Structure 1
Amino acid sequence: MDHHSGKSSDHLTINVTRRDDPVSEVTEADAFASVRKYPNIVVRGPLFGLAEQRRGDRPRWRLLGELDTGFPQMARDELNSHLWFKAKDDTEDRTVRRSLLEAVARLETDPVNEVTADGVRYRIVRADEFTRIGDGRLEPPRATDPDDDGWDLDAPDPPSRSKGFVVDHAAAVGLTEGIDRAGLLRLAYTAERFPGDVRADSRRAVTTHPGVVLLPTTFRVVESKELSWSMVTGQYSTPQGARRALVHHLTRPVPQLPDLPDMPELPAWMKVDEKEQAVNERAAKKFMARRRPNELVLRGRRFQVVRVERVMRIGPDGPERPRPSDVDDYGPSKIQPTMDEHGVVTYGD
């Protein structure tokens, strides 16, 4: 791995600027009102993803996609494939391809959180996912959050607002975001539901990575339980994306399988009760008849579209990597066929 110097003190700077345009003023007012109504936060846990730092970007890093995986190894596998396909499709230079494939080979055997290939640093980065809460209710989408009104369940998801996001701690932000970040500087896991080593790593990170950056907001559907919440959908870049995912969850519970001869019968747990399905479809239809609804109650179950934030800790050398207490269910492995420096792929070895 190449060694890079030039560490910056930007991770200690929060640059707050006043924006006088009408859109920014409305957004700031909406944010202030929401923070007053939902003053506390609930941390769900870490998410992992990929970032790169090119020579001209230092000290800034750029996200390569969503931070939406729950385990570091899933992000390492994603990086493995990213570099393999760059070697396959994006270069004819044997030296560049060799550098990319050397990084792939290392990711196949070692649980590393950073590699350098063709002069670019690639890092597995972590962020903590949280939502705001007030009077026992999680924060719904804000009026100023990007949104739409479409209900086409087969339409592509809105473009990611995280992919390409520049992690720049010193970039100018509005007053509300500056206050939010200042309030998150000392954030650490304290709840007893987190194991001791997780809490210890969290406290340590406040010192080793004292800066924080807020990533683009995402949205999920959760089901409210008596003392907790459970996730129903993944994360979406707009509230409407999460609403469509809830409708999909209710009306398309299993894939539509072709009616083929000798097709084995579905197991009982995969079968859908027709009466229950009819109830779900009626509830979904009423939900879709409303404009930008954020709550659905169905047979005593309460589904909510919630606003989800992610905070990334920043140190002198950039975004935080996975912590020792961040666990994996499995280790590194070979996930792509063998390729040589000429781009020749060998299958079946």
Structure 2
Amino acid sequence: MDDDSAQLPEHLTIRVTHTDDPVAAVAGLEAWAAREKYPDLMMMPPVFGSLERTGTGAWRILHFHATTPQAARDDLGHTFRAWALAEPGTPLAAPRTLGDAERAAYTAAYERLEWEALDEISVAGRDYRVFRAEQVLRSGPDGIEPPRPTDPDPAPVGQAHRLPSRVAGFVIDPAAGVTLVDGILRLDMTALVPTGRFIPEDVRAEARLASHLYPNVMVLPAHCAVAEHRDGRWGPMTGACETPQGARDSLAAYLREFAPRLDPDLGAEELARYAEAADRLDAERAVEVRAAHRRFRLVRVEPVVRLGPDGPELPRTSDWDPDVPLRVQEQRDRAAGIVYGEDGEDLGDGEPEGG
């Protein structure tokens, strides 16, 4: 019998393989149980990152978790600048030795990105692009799914920010083998589009088009966020943290430091309860906590990247992208009378004192 999968292009293939890894087996059981317990899929706003095409045609993540396409473009430009200026062997150096011509090419690319909102660029014979990922949460009768026991969570309390990124260097390769459970879960995501009466029609229309242009998906390593229960339902409260402890640290900092500043009318008793809740988070590494009249939960977020024949999906025109490249913004500011120093510092509107 002919193997039909051999005739399919890689971007349409989900290659299922067997693994003897016991950790992967347990993670698969957890994932299948979560699919039953939390059958509904919800979507947070997308996140963005930058990629480098590898020698095999796959794409390696350089940066992730930017909240807008322009922020991801800025990250890519800063990486080019760091590579061009860093001495060989330093932590900022490129993952390979750069000659003088390549350093000049990366400098020129960085300067170009300061002026142009480019989602794709080739530098020194290598391809780079900005990509988008949907943030998917699973929900069920008891609310949004919390982190799973097999989700990596190695950081001590208050130290999550010191961990290296779990997703930087991750290779997006549709030809890579996955377990049967992961393959089924990927199929669940292929037709995912935002729904709800408050979703603008242009957003829905572009999502439907993307499902045809980028028909396959890949799920990146899960990250975590904090949700709050309000008015009878759960809603995301924070952006992405790479680990559950990172989300706990963010929530504890909010309860101890930011909530009192944001609400100066809080009484001493409520402030004490907020502090007690933060202490419980630290002591118990909990996934849910109550503080005074409020209820918070750590929630599991699955970043889903759409894949097409040319690679991961680029930003959409309907994505929120309010900023412009750095030099364009500076040019606008100068035209408006804002004066910059040599280091880019805003020196005010240039009017003499008292004028």
Task: Give the letter for the 1:237 counterpart.
Answer: E
The residue aligned with 1:244 is: 249
Please state how far the C-alpha of 1:347 moved relative to its aligned partner: 5.0
What RMSD over aligned residues (CA atoms) do the two structures have, in Å? 2.7
Identity among equivalent positions (%) equals 39
2:324 corresponds, among 309, 331, 334, to 331
Q: Are the structure 2 counterparts of residues 36 and 157 from structure 1 closer, same or farther at C-alpha, using a change threshold of 3 Å?
A: farther
In structure 2, the partner of 1:13 is 13
Query: Offset of 1:18 from its aligned partner?
Result: 2.2
Matches within 5 A, 1:140-289: 140-148=146-154, 150-151=156-157, 153=158, 156-226=161-231, 228-253=233-258, 274-289=268-283
Task: After superposing the two structures, state which structure 1 stretch, 39-48 or 93-102, moved more.
Answer: 93-102
Distance in 1 separating the partners of 2:162 and 2:198:
34
Q: State the match for 1:341 in structure 2.
A: none
Q: CA deviation at 1:254?
A: 8.3
Give me the whole-angstrom Cα distance separating, in 2, the residues matched to 1:314 and 1:49: 15
Give CA deviations for 1:196-243 in whole Å, capped at 9, x if unaligned. Answer: 111111000011111100011001111122255444433222212212
**Separation in 2 of the partners of 1:99 and 1:286?**
52
Match of 1:61 among 46, 59, 68: 59
Are the counterparts in 2 of residues 50 and 79 from structure 1 also a CA contact under 8 Å? yes
Q: 1:133 aligns with which of 139, 142, 148?
A: 139
Map Cα deviations across residues 87-114 of structure 1 (whole Å, 9 max, x no partner): 1114773321221122223212221101
1:123 to 114, 122, 129: 129
Q: 1:328 to 1:237 in 2, by over 3 A?
A: closer
Say if 1:101 and 1:227 are closer, same or farther in 2 by CA, change over 3 A.
farther
Look up the SS of the partner of 1:124 in the other structure: strand
- Structure 2 alignment gaps of length 5 or more: 1-7, 87-92, 331-340, 345-355
Give, in whole Å, the separation in 1 of the partners of 2:16 and 2:305: 18
Q: Which has the higher contact order (CA 8 A, sep 6+)?
A: 1
The equivalent of 2:40 in structure 1 is 40
Contact 1:222 1:232 in 2 (8 A): yes
Q: Which runs of 5+ in 1 are unaligned?
A: 1-7, 256-266, 338-345
Deviation per residue, 1:301-347 (Å, 9 max, x gap): 11001111010000101000001111311211239x9xxxxxxxx95
Amino acid at match of 1:330: D
> 2:327 aligns to what SS in structure 1?
coil
Counterpart among 68, 73, 77 of residue 71 in structure 1: 68
Q: Is the 8 A contact 1:158 1:241 kept in 2?
A: no
Residues 1:26 and 1:299: Cα distance change in structure 2 (over 3 Å): same
Tell me the residue number matched to 2:102: 96
Shift in Å at residue 44 of structure 1? Answer: 1.2
Quote the offset at 1:271 in angstroms.
9.3
Change (3 A) 1:221 1:157: farther
Residue aligning to 2:335: none
